[in-house]
Amino acid sequence: MIGTNYRLTMETNRQAALAAQIARGQTEISTTRRIQAPSDDPVAAARISEIGRAQANEASWKSNLDLANALAAGAETTLEATANAITRAHELMVAGANGTLSATNRAAIALELRSIAAELDGLKDSRDARGNRLFMPGWALQIPVAAGLSVTAAATREEVFEQVPTANGARDLAAIVADAATALEGGNSTAIGASISEVVAGVEHVAGVRGQQGARGNRIDQLVERFQSTKLQLTEERSALEDTDVTAAITRVQSQQLTLQAAQAVFARVNQSTLFDILR
């Protein structure tokens, strides 16, 4: 009897353990998580925690990177408009320098030049979606995008609009165009020629600024690509550590269920035979 009871207890315990494994497998399948508690795999759980912190940090950096990307795009759009405006001013000055033009014609060209000068003043004060200046006065906005790394999304207002190198020193872009209009109205060929030179300097200056802005945009694009790559690596590593291989888990659970059912059937037959033996 003692031996029989021992075997019965051992078999009951074995089936209970198998049932617990089945229940655990079903939980892994339903939650798609292999690790339900740190004790399941302490090493993997510790790494998953590290990855989680890294992902949280990456989310914060990505928000800043998105801002830098938006500001850089806004700056490029504004600089394109600036380039178009100063190029048009140059075309008008070349046309206005024609000595056969009447004072009335020069006045009409000067009027358009003054409207371009006003446009340039407006572009200088361009704002982003948050209502802040795209081109900050005095200092360029530094945006942190990773630990120990910041980017500049746009140049300063002075660098773009107020520091055009000319024969008369650094000048304001809008002022150059406004003075060109005045020179054209005056009809003095020497003054007109000098103004054309300054407008050409403005065209070249804006082209250089646009090139610098393009380099900033490329740098931000590279950081975005690097972020996406890092994000994918972290996600894949975490998934490999944490996620359930659902197909394998289902196969394992089904096999365990068949094993348990077979064990229960044998257990029932053995117990029935043992009971009959005792009754006899």
Question: How does pLDDT run across 174-228, given as a tens digit for each residue?
Answer: 999 999 999 999 989 999 999 999 999 999 999 999 999 999 999 999 998 888 8
Residue 155 carries which DSSP code?
-
Which tokens in the block code for residue 117? 């000068």
- Cα 6 vs. chain centroid, distance in angstroms? 65
What is the pTM (predicted TM-score) of this model?
Answer: 0.72
**CB-facing half-sphere around the CA of 71: CA atoms within 13 A:** 25
Q: In Å, how far are 265, 275, 279 from 7, measured between CA atoms? A: 16, 14, 19
- Is pLDDT of 259 > 60? yes
Residue 82 structure tokens: 């600036």
Confidence band of 274 (pLDDT split at 50, 70, 90): low
Distance CA 3, CA 49 (A): 49
Residues of the chain above pLDDT 90, percent:
49
> For the segment 122-139, what is each residue's pLDDT rounded down to a tens digit?
999 999 988 999 999 999
Q: What is the pLDDT of residue 238?
A: 77
Q: Which residue has the higher pLDDT, 147 or 26?
A: 147
CATH homologous superfamily of domain 44-241? Answer: f41 fragment of flagellin, N-terminal domain (1.20.1330.10)
Rounded Cα gap, residues 231 and 224, in angstroms? 10
pLDDT above 70 (res 275): no
Q: For strands 164-166 and 169-171, give the pairing.
A: antiparallel
Angstrom CA distances, 53 to 26, 48, 49, 228, stand at 29, 9, 6, 17
Q: How confident is the model at residue 276 (pLDDT cuts 50, 70, 90)?
A: very low
Per residue in 9-38, pLDDT tens?
A: 776 777 676 666 675 656 666 666 777 777
Q: Which residues pair with 151 in a beta bridge?
A: 143
Residue 37: predicted pLDDT: 74
Whole-number Cα distances in Å, 194 to 114, 177, 182, 229 = 17, 12, 12, 53
pLDDT band for position 50 (50/70/90)? confident
Q: In the chain, where are the structural domains located?
A: 44-241, 246-280
Phi and psi of 145, rounded to 5°?
A: -125, 0
Rounded to whole angstroms, how far apart are CA atoms 151 and 64?
10
| CB under 8 A, 24+ apart: contacts of 48-55 | 48/238, 48/241, 48/242, 51/234, 51/237, 51/238, 51/241, 52/238, 54/234, 55/231, 55/234, 55/235, 55/238
Q: Tell me: pLDDT of 265 over 60.
A: yes
Residues paired with 152 in a beta bridge: 142
Average pLDDT, the chain: 85
Q: What are phi and psi of 41, to 5 degrees?
A: -160, 85
What is the C-alpha to C-alpha distance for residues 87 and 168, in angstroms, rounded to an integer? 20
Distance between CA atoms of residues 167 and 201, nearest Å: 9
Which residue has 């229960």 as its token pair?
264
45: amino acid identity, one letter: A
Residue 43 has pLDDT above 80, yes or no: yes
